[in-house]
Amino acid sequence: MPELPEVETIVTDLKILEKSKISDFKVVNEKTIRQRPFLNLLEKEFRKRIVGKRITKVSRRAKNIVFEVDRYYLVFHLKMTGQLVLKKCASKGCKIITGGHPIVGQGNILPNKYTRGILDFDNGSVLYFNDVRRFGWARLMDKTEYLAFSDLYGLEPLSKEFTSKYLKNFFDKRKKTTIKQAIMDQKYLVGVGNIYADESLFLAGIRPARKVESLSDKEIEKLHKSIIKTLKQAIKYRGTSFNDYLDAQGAKGNFLQHLKVYGRAGKECRKCGGVIKKGKIGGRGTHWCDNCQL
C-alpha cells in the first residue's frame, strides 16, 4: 500500500488537474462510491454534485488523495491495489500518467476489466480509477463530513504543528508501547508506515522494540528530526517501490536504493558493516542494526 511519500508524489503529479472542469463521471462498480458514513450516494446523485464543476485543489490527507470540487471533497483511497490513471490528449497525441499499483498485462488499455470509475474533463482528459482487488474507494463528502473524516487522522508529520514537544506529549500517553508501534499510530501521527518507521528509527539510532518510556528528551528530539528527514528524502526520490507502487509518471520510486535497513535482513549494514536483523513488532516485519541502534 502506498505510504505518505508515495501518495504525496502522486498528488504532486496530479495537480495538473487543478482548474479542470468535470464533464462526466461514470461508475463501473457501485461499491467504489457507496460506503457509510459518508454521503452514500447513487451514481446519478454523485454526478449531479460534481459534473460541470472545476477541481479547485488537489491535495493529500494522510494516505488519501483529495480533490476539492465546488463545495465538495472527492476523496480517493488506493488501498492495496488501486491506481489512478490520467489520459491527457493533445494534437500531438495522448500522454498516460499512472500512479499507484501497477496492473500487469493491461498496458495502456483504458478502460480495462479493473476500472471502477471514470472521470471525464471538458478538455478531453480522462481519469480512470482502477483497482484489482476492489478495496480502494472514492467518496464524495460535503465540508462537514470531510472535516469529521479528517479528524479521524492524527497530525501530519510534515506540518509546522509537528514539533518535538508534540511528539513528547504524545509519547507521555503511550509509555508502555514499543517506540515503533507508537510512531505508526495513525490516530496521533499519520503517514509513518512500516518502511519509514524502520528507516526513521535507524537514522535516530533507536531500536524499534524499546518502550517509549525509555526514551530521553534528547532521543525524542533526534527521532522527531529523523522522521521529518526520512519522509522528505523519500518524497525527493518519489517514494519507495518494491512490487506494488508506481508514481503518477508511471515510474518506480527511487528511495528503494537509499534504504538503510528495511528489506535488507541478513545484509551488511551500510553504516557499520554489521548484519541487519529482522523480527516482528506488533505483527509487522521490523528491521534494525544491533550496532547502530541502542
Q: Report, as residue numbers or ranges, the catalytic residues.
A: 2-3, 63, 284
C-alpha cell at 7: 501518495
C-alpha cell at 292: 547502530
For 55, 106, 234, 249, 294, the CA distances from 97, given in Å and listed in that order, are 18, 14, 20, 5, 43
The rounded Cα 48 to chain-centroid distance in angstroms is: 29
